[in-house]
Amino acid sequence: MSCVQTIADYGLRSIGIGERLLPTTDFTLCQQVTLIGSGMIWNIYFGVLALAAGFLLATAVALGKASNNVWLRKPSEWFVFLFRGSPLFIQFFFAYFLFLSLRSNIEFFEPFTAAWLGATIVLFLNTSAYASEIFYGALQSIPKGESEAADAYGFSGFNKFRKITWPTMMRLAWPAYTNEAIFLFHATTLVFFSGFPAWRQQGDALYYASYFADKTFNPFVPYPILAGYFILLTLVVTGLFGVVNRHLNRHLPNESRSKIRYRPKLLR
């Protein structure tokens, strides 16, 4: 079977298009590269959705944490502590079993037990907590002068936030937020190793990599392929966030712009 044929058969296997049966013997390099790459669709899906939705919640929670109102501050602090203080792995398990027991009572929760929705929600809440801590830190370090100047110009309320506070907050937080985005993508590999089952063997990249490692008893091929894909993904994310970073800092002279430095935050 030629490699083109393999790609046609397995390129979209992870979302259920193409060949149903996974290869079971005589694994070729092409099959491994194709299937693991096909699994990356899930990693990107989880990462993009959680990041996009998490961005909004993170901004809200960061503002809540900085708020003077106890009723806003305390829940925000607890939310951040809950999701940053416990392992994502356990969060996945807990959420899955929670949805499972909800489902047995209420019909509505049927789709929540599937990875595409349930895991996305957990990742969304998790990244919101981590990102809101970053945004909160940035909010605290906004130069006093900028805020005072805004007052002097007559800005106030939401207008001041949208035109002055928020852009500066983003500018300060962006390098750290880039790292958060990278590690969120890495964290997506946990989904199919925790409670959430892979339906019809449609899993993410690590799911297929470990499938091959188990079948061939040779970890030295699938895992480096997986590593290659993730390094590529990391480069793409860094590039895209770099464009935004340049846009956020476009008013500053070149040398005082904050650069994105790759600082791994490791597991969560």
Residues interacting with other proteins, by CB under 8 A?
A: 25, 27, 81-82, 85-91, 93-94, 97-98, 100-101, 104, 186-187, 189-190, 193, 206, 209-210, 213, 215-220, 223, 226-227, 230-231, 234, 262, 264-268
Instruction: Please state the closest distance from residue 236 (CB atom) to other proteins, in A.
Output: 12
Residue that the structure tokens 């500018």 belong to: 171
Q: How far is CA 232 from CA 4, 10, 138, 224, in A?
A: 22, 20, 29, 12
Report which of 177, 209, 262 is spatially closest to residue 33, judged by C-alpha positions. 209
Buried b (16+ CB within 10 A) or exposed e, 61-70: bbbbbeeeee
Instruction: Please say which residue, 161 or 223, places its beta carbon nearer to other proteins.
Output: 223
**Alpha helix segments (H runs only) across the chain:** 3-10, 29-66, 70-84, 88-105, 115-140, 144-152, 157-160, 166-187, 205-216, 222-248
Closest separation in Å from C-beta 120 to other proteins: 18
**CA dist., res. 56 & res. 124, Å (int):** 10
For residues 87 and 111, which CB has a smaller minimum distance to other proteins in the complex? 87
- Supply the minimum distance, in Å, between the C-beta of residue 189 and other proteins: 4
Our CB check for other proteins shows the closer of 90 and 252 to be 90
Least gap, CB of 259 to other proteins (angstroms): 17
Nearer to other proteins, 51 or 248 (CB): 51
Which two structure tokens, joined as six digits, stand for 155?
């800005």
For 161, which DSSP code? I
**Distance of closest approach, residue 252 Cβ to other proteins, in angstroms:** 26
Supply the minimum distance, in Å, between the C-beta of residue 78 and other proteins.
Answer: 10
CA distance 26 to 212: 11
**For residue 252, which of 177, 143, 148, 160 has the smallest C-alpha distance?**
143
Given the complex with other proteins, which of 246 and 263 has the nearer CB atom? 263
Nearer to other proteins, 138 or 213 (CB): 213
Unique residue bearing structure tokens 């390129």: 11
Q: In whole angstroms, how close is the CB of 245 to other proteins at the nearest point?
A: 19
Contact (Cβ atoms closer than 8 angstroms) between residue 34 and residue 105: no
Asked if 242 contacts 157 with a C-beta cutoff of 8 angstroms, the reply is no
21 or 266, CB closer to other proteins?
A: 266
